[in-house]
Structure 1
Amino acid sequence: MLAPREIDEYLLPTERRVIRVRQHWAVMFKHIWQTAVFILLVVGVEQYMDGSTTAAVDVLVDNLAFYLVLVAVLRFTALTILWWVERIVITDKRVMIAQGIIVHNVGMMPLGKVTDLTFQRSLSGRILGYGTMVVESAGQIQALNRIDYMPRPEEIYEALSELVFGEKGKTRATGALAKPRWRR
């Protein structure tokens, strides 16, 4: 299994890791819901058919129900492991997503190609603390164009903006402090 420190093997000697996160746990709601509904359906059908047929059919229905529930639990376990090993890594030079157990995939986008950066939050995202990061690159669709269920999107947006567009409060050309346009 991919340990959190193993993603660092993809870093170049000249780059430094700024952020390393996995998708927000809310991404698992869909899988939890699907698994629970499927198990309830299987158990409901099994209970409905129990006792209404012959003993041989009852045993067959019980065994089928058991194996269907087992497959649902194994599927949920595999999806949870996939979520756990997936990492979103932002360095001072690029953004990467590493995912997969058997087939390991690493997607990458250089920060120099980023032309626009946006994050979006739904109501549930505001409540639970996740959002969607949209990274655009000079009219091209990149592998990391959209990252859903990004945890703490404001912090990551701010850190990524500083990396892409210069330090916070400083202009890129001179490095001097930029004049604030408004006061709060």
Structure 2
Amino acid sequence: MRESVNASLPEPLGIDRLDTPIGTALLVTDCKGVLCALDWEGYESRMRELLRLQHGAVVLREGPAPREIKAALSAYFNGELNSLCAIKWRLAGTAFQRKVWTALTEIPPGTTVSYGALAAHLGAPKAMRAVGHANGANPISVVIPCHRLIGADGSLVKYGGGLERKRWLLAHEGVRLSSARRRS
């Protein structure tokens, strides 16, 4: 179940960590155990800023993420690519951002889509940059698979957690990247 809201989160949010093959993931959940953010250690300030922009002032307190979230993420990193569908998440953001984020979840594992193709799919073929900005404002990495967006020429472009992580995630999902597509 996914919930898209455009309201502040008055309750404190819990922050937990999960070791993955590509680094320690930061998991932020609300009082109902719904995922509100997933980012990488070393990018916590960016994650906090995205939470602030989307929800207003939030308080993060150390606390365990639900076992179901950790289990689904661990299963994904162990090769069960569709396990992420079981994770409940909650977003704020603009209507356009939420539309982009929802569309990202419809891109199957092992598949990439260009920014332009996603813009066209959304009925706004000239909104490639807006799609890029919305993609960059995604607070829930991996689960909302922003790593599946690539440049029109097949090149890897921008990933909030670093291009090496994006490369790893795509390879993990079975995407074959040619040397021309591996430009940083």
TM-score, shorter chain, exceeding 0.5: no
Question: Whose Rg is larger?
Answer: 1
TM-score after normalising by structure 1? 0.30
User: Which structure shows the bigger proportion of residues in helix conformation?
Assistant: 1
